[in-house]
Amino acid sequence: MLVETQARGAVRIGGLAKRFGATTVLDGVDLDIAAGEFVTILGPSGCGKSTLLRIVAGLEVESAGSVAIDGAPMKGLAPNARDIAMVFQSYALYPHLTVAENIAVPLRMRRLTPVQRLLGLAPRAVRESIAVDVQSVAAMLRIEGLLARKPAQLSGGQKQRVALARAMVRRPRVFLMDEPLSNLDAELRVHMRAEIAQLHRQLGATFLYVTHDQVEAMTMSDRVAVILGGRLQQVATPDALYRDPDTLAVAQFVGTPRINVLPGERLGLPAAQVAVRPERLRVHALGPSGSSHRLPPSRPSFPSPVCGGGGAVFRDGGGVTHDLVCAPPPSATTPTPPPRAGEGGPGTGKSPAIDGRLVHRENLGSDLFLHVDVPGVPALLIARADPAAGEGVSIGDTLSLTIDPRHALLFDANGRRIRP
Ligand SMILES: Nc1ncnc2c1ncn2[C@@H]1O[C@H](COP(=O)(O)OP(=O)(O)OP(=O)(O)O)[C@@H](O)[C@H]1O
Ligand SMILES: [Mg+2]
């Protein structure tokens, strides 16, 4: 029976540091993972993700700090004494063994003596118990039909499933996965994301997953730990990370398309930098006679916890704004910006309009992303709009963008979040 009945595998990482010579790769990482939780370490290439995972696995020795699993310190324990299983990007299957034999390897190591393995003399009861467990895990991953094949006769996705099966068959309390999907094509990655999330729910074991792909992190995990330059930046649910980031670096790392960043003074806001998600930029197309019409967003925005004073605003697909909590933003953090002709002004809660030129339209069918070049702003601003509403807007048109300060994220000169 492979389904766990009791959650186990709480991992506590404390003050973990790793240096290779003079290079510090990990610097004081603290991370508590609850038993049965799915936590993803997310960060760009070279930030120390694999190093962190390898230390938890016992494949690398920490320079400082500690790792404990279910309260037991792991210091000095060999990988096979830690009750963990690791799945790598490279599937690392034995090419000369069948799928069934590959999956059985960890069980043979555990249930047979070295002499029995060497002479191929497994007692019948052990042989049968191994076959039952291999069948059971193969059924779970729907690879029963592949058990007699060799790895060379499998697709990439099938190999990855076999690697997962081999990890699962031992029923470890912690699964460590290092970019296990990065060798798969885009469609299969999406499929395997759903499958891994489902396996996690079925097994009830702890998953510690490493990726540089924020979509993978956001779609599978209970919590995401963002690591940049060897330091943990923020650990939060995918939703909180997206809507309530602690730093500008995290805000920019999470979300597709990337969050828009503008200089604070441009908007009359008391922040060095103001960041606003594409779905939060309001877009107005300017008509020839100076008239302006709003392009509605492509779908309802979620109530946001980031607006000032605990207020939340819900804007429906028709562009109608509903105040849910109805608290005005405190004036200290979201002052009324200086009005500009026809826009902003006391009581409107809007910052001044910013005009820019449409340089690129990305129509994804469900969403239309408008890339707008605004003089004095280094990166193009990206706004999300309803594709139908954006039909009449062409490259070269002038668009007017407004930001509701309640939906903007403010950051100081060091990139730290300024909260209401
Ligand atoms: N054995 C080693 N000796 C020296 N430097 C190393 C060693 N292993 C890793 N590093 C360095 O440590 C840093 C972090 O490496 P790590 O493999 O943990 O990064 P990563 O976040 O997993 O990157 P990627 O996403 O590319 O896999 C890198 O700069 C790497 O060059
Ligand atoms: Mg790596």
| CATH architecture of the domain with range 11-251 | 3-Layer(aba) Sandwich (3.40)
178: pLDDT strictly greater than 90: yes
Could you check whether 11-251 and 257-418 share the same CATH topology?
A: no
Measured between alpha carbons, how far is 301 from 318 in angstroms, rounded to an integer? 11
Strands 313-315, 273-276: pairing is unpaired
- Give residues (CB < 6 A) around ligand 1: 20, 25, 43, 45-51, 212
- pLDDT band at residue 297 under the 50/70/90 scheme: low
- pLDDT band at residue 291 under the 50/70/90 scheme: low
- pLDDT band at residue 339 under the 50/70/90 scheme: very low
φ/ψ (deg, to 5) at 387: -55, -40
> What's the gap in Å between 9 CA and the centre of ligand 1?
26
> Do the Cβ atoms of 231 and 37 come closer than 8 Å?
no
Q: Given this model, what pLDDT does residue 6 score?
A: 53
**Can you say whether residue 394 is alpha, beta or left, with left for phi > 0 and alpha for psi between -120 and 50 degrees?**
beta
> What's the gap in Å between 84 CA and the centre of ligand 2?
18
Token pair of 91 as six digits: 């599937």
Q: Given this model, what pLDDT does residue 119 score?
A: 84
pTM score, whole prediction: 0.82
> What's the gap in Å between 54 CA and the centre of ligand 2?
10
Report helix angle 99-111 to 156-168, nearest 10. 20
Token pair of 31 as six digits: 């991370």
> What's the gap in Å between 2 CA and the centre of ligand 2?
29
Pocket test for ligand 1, best of 18, 19, 20, 59 (most atoms within 8 A of CB): 20
Residue nearest to atom 22 of ligand 1 (CA): 50
**How many residues are listed for the chain in this entry?**
420
What ranges do the domains of the chain cover?
A: 11-251, 257-418
Residue nearest to atom 12 of ligand 1 (CA): 25
Q: Could you count the other beta carbons within 10 Å of the beta carbon of residue 261?
A: 18
| CATH architecture of the domain with range 257-418 | Beta Barrel (2.40)
For range 180-203, the mean pLDDT: 87
* Ligand 1 atom showing the smallest separation from residue 48 Cα: 18
Pocket test for ligand 1, best of 24, 27, 29, 49 (most atoms within 8 A of CB): 49
User: Residues of the chain with pLDDT > 70: what percent?
Assistant: 83
Q: Given this model, what pLDDT does residue 350 score?
A: 55
Token pair of 127 as six digits: 């042989």
For range 92-102, the mean pLDDT: 93
For range 238-256, the mean pLDDT: 95
Residue nearest to atom 8 of ligand 1 (CA): 51
